[in-house]
Amino acid sequence: MFDYIKGKLISKLPTGTKGSSIVVENNGIGYLVNTTARNISLAGEVDSEVKIYTTLIHREDAMILCGFLNREDRDIFNILLSVSGVGMKVALVLLDEFSGYDLISAVIRGDYKELSRAKGVGPKLAQKIILELKDKLINWQNTAPVDVSDISDEKGVSDEALSEAQAVLLSLGYSSQESKDAIKAACKVVLKKDSSEEILKEALSYLSRE
C-alpha cells in the first residue's frame, strides 16, 4: 500500500512493551511505525526529516505499519515474513541483531549458529529460516534464469558468483536493471571477484545509496 513515508520525525521509542517504534508526521497525519532499535539510533534527531520504507501488515484485529531507513532492510523483512513460523517480531529481532547484508550472508553460508544469536531465535528456527530462505534466494534463477552476459566487463569475475548475486537481488524485489547496475558497480571495487557474498555486499551498499 505504501512504499515509503517521508516527513517529520515526531518521536522515537527505542524499547517498549511492544518493541521499538517511531512516529512520522506527513500532511498532518502521525504514522506509528514499528521498527528496530538499530534504525531508531540512525534515524536522526526528533523534528528532523526522515524517509521510512514501509510494509503494512494486515491482521484480523489490527493493521500494523513496519518501516526501515533503507529499502533493502524492508525487502529482507518482507521475505523473512514468507518463512513459516517467522512473524513480525522475529523478523524485527533479526534485523535488529544483523544488518541486511549480514543476515543474507549468514543464510547463504548456512550459518544457523550465527542466526541463533538473535534473541528468541533458537537453533531449530534458525535452521528453518536458512532452509526456506536459501531456497527462495539462490534458486530464483531456476524459475527466472538470469543473464550475466552484459554484467561482467572485468577479468576475474566469476559468472557463477554474478548469477548467484543477481538471483538474490531479484528475489528481494529489485528489477533486472537495478540488479545489473548494482553488480556492475560492485565489481569495480570488490577484491574477491569470485565471491558472490562480496559482490552482494557491495551491490546492496550501492542500492542503499540510490
Per-residue pLDDT tens over the stretch 54-78? 999 988 888 999 999 988 889 889 9
Total domains, the chain: 3
Residues 89, 55 share a domain:
no
pLDDT tens sequence across 5-20: 999 999 998 876 668 9
Report which of residues 112 and 59 the model is more confident about. Answer: 112
Residues 132, 165 share a domain:
no
**Residue 192 pLDDT class (50, 70, 90 cuts):** low
**Residue 4 pLDDT class (50, 70, 90 cuts):** very high
Residues 204, 156 share a domain:
yes
Residues 90, 39 share a domain:
no
Q: Of the candidates 68, 100, 118, which is a domain's last residue? A: 68
**Residue 1 pLDDT class (50, 70, 90 cuts):** low
Residues 157, 197 share a domain:
yes
Residue 168: which CATH number?
A: 1.10.8.10
Residue 28: which CATH number?
A: 2.40.50.140
Residues 132, 102 share a domain:
yes
Phi and psi at residue 113, to the nearest 5°: -65, -35
> Average of pLDDT values for 100-106?
84
pLDDT tens sequence across 129-178: 998 888 777 665 454 555 666 666 555 677 778 888 888 888 887 888 88
For 103, the domain range is: 73-138
Residues 145, 94 share a domain:
no
Residues 146, 134 share a domain:
no
Residues 203, 146 share a domain:
yes
Residue-wise DSSP of the chain: --SEEEEEEEEEESS-TT-EEEEEEETTEEEEEEE-HHHHHHS-STTSEEEEEEEEEE-SS-EEEEEESSHHHHHHHHHHHTSTT--HHHHHHHHHHS-HHHHHHHHHHT-HHHHTTSTT--HHHHHHHHHHHHHHHHTHHHHS----TTT--STT--HHHHHHHHHHHHHTT--HHHHHHHHHHHHTT-S-TT-HHHHHHHHHHHHHH-
Residues 86, 58 share a domain:
no
Residue 130: which CATH number?
A: 1.10.150.20
Q: Of the candidates 93, 119, 138, which is a domain's last residue? A: 138
Q: Of the candidates 53, 68, 83, which is a domain's last residue? A: 68
